[in-house]
Structure 1
Amino acid sequence: MRWSIHHVNLETRDVRRAAAFYTEVLGMREQPWRFPKARGYLPGEPDRLALLGDGRDGHSGLHLIAPDPEFAERNGLAFNPSVGGHVAIQVPDLAAVIRRLEAAGIPHSVTGEFAIPGLRHVYLEDPEGNLLEINGPA
């Protein structure tokens, strides 16, 4: 199966301070977040969410998000991607991944296009408890 790292999401208590570190000290560039029309609950204020793009597309790179204990509940998810951080893996056939998760009996949450235009997402934990996001074309 082809895959690539789409983004790394870091839980960030002070988003603006962290964004300043990545831009001013490490030389990254902050970019505006574009939300899809079918946006789920995703705080878009600059003190709650920042995108440090890697130049591949509009949302790949480093995401900084303030922890939100109710994020999962507000989006109907079993896992909370705003707490503890996660890595997002992009695949060309998300439906195939979902079928494999279901066949293996692995708990997961599937979203439609709610956070990033053109992508839908699956959240799950690996056997060590690391939160993963797997995304693919909507």
Structure 2
Amino acid sequence: MTWSIHHVNLPAPDVRASARFYTEILGLTEGTWVFPPAGEVGQISADPARLTVFPCPAAAEGANAGLHLIRPEPEFARKNGLDHNPSIGGHVAIQVPDLDAVIARLTAAGIPFSFAPTYAIPRMRHVYVYDPAMNLLEINEIVR
């Protein structure tokens, strides 16, 4: 199966201080988070003090590809109907062309996962799962 890295999500208790580091010290350019249309947006803050993106022009297809900084939010999973909390501890997001195939393999193996339809990134479905070392992964797919 082909895949690519869509984004890396890092927790940042002070998102603005971290954003200054990435802009002023590393020279990255901060972008603007692109949200799904109304009605598809989950319980996610649009406040740049809570969430920001540093787009990577060479990153995988899709809005918000690149580096994400998010303020850890203990209630994030509950508010979005997930068992896994992507705002805490960081995660890498792997983009695949067939999320249903991944879901079928996870289900067949008895591996618990959280499915999230479009809620944070336009036209993207997500699965959150722990690997054997307990690293949180996001597996996602662009919905065409």
Q: TM-score range by the shorter chain?
A: over 0.9
**1:50 CA displacement:** 0.8
Once residues 91 and 26 of structure 2 are traced to their aligned partners in structure 1, the CA distance between those partners, rounded to angstroms, is: 21
1:48-105 deviations in Å (ceiling 9; x for gaps): 0010000244311100000000000000101000000000000010110000100000
Counterpart secondary structure, 2:100: helix
**Is 1:59 matched up with 2:61?**
no
Q: How many residues align?
A: 138
Assess if the C-alpha contact under 8 Å between 1:91 and 1:135 holds in 2.
yes
**Is 1:119 matched up with 2:121?**
no
**1:44 CA displacement:** 1.4
- Which of 24, 40, 43 is the matching residue for 1:41? 43
1:6-42 deviations in Å (ceiling 9; x for gaps): 0000010110000011011111111101110200011
TM-score by length of 2: 0.93
Counterpart secondary structure, 2:128: strand
Q: Which runs of 5+ in 1 are unaligned?
A: none
**1:110 CA displacement:** 0.5
TM-score by length of 1: 0.97
Residue 21 of structure 1 corresponds to: 21
Percent of aligned pairs with the same amino acid = 58
Once residues 63 and 25 of structure 2 are traced to their aligned partners in structure 1, the CA distance between those partners, rounded to angstroms, is: 22
Q: Aligned Cα RMSD in Å?
A: 0.8
Q: Which runs of 5+ in 2 are unaligned?
A: none
Find runs of 4+ consecutive structure 1 residues off by over 6 angstroms: none
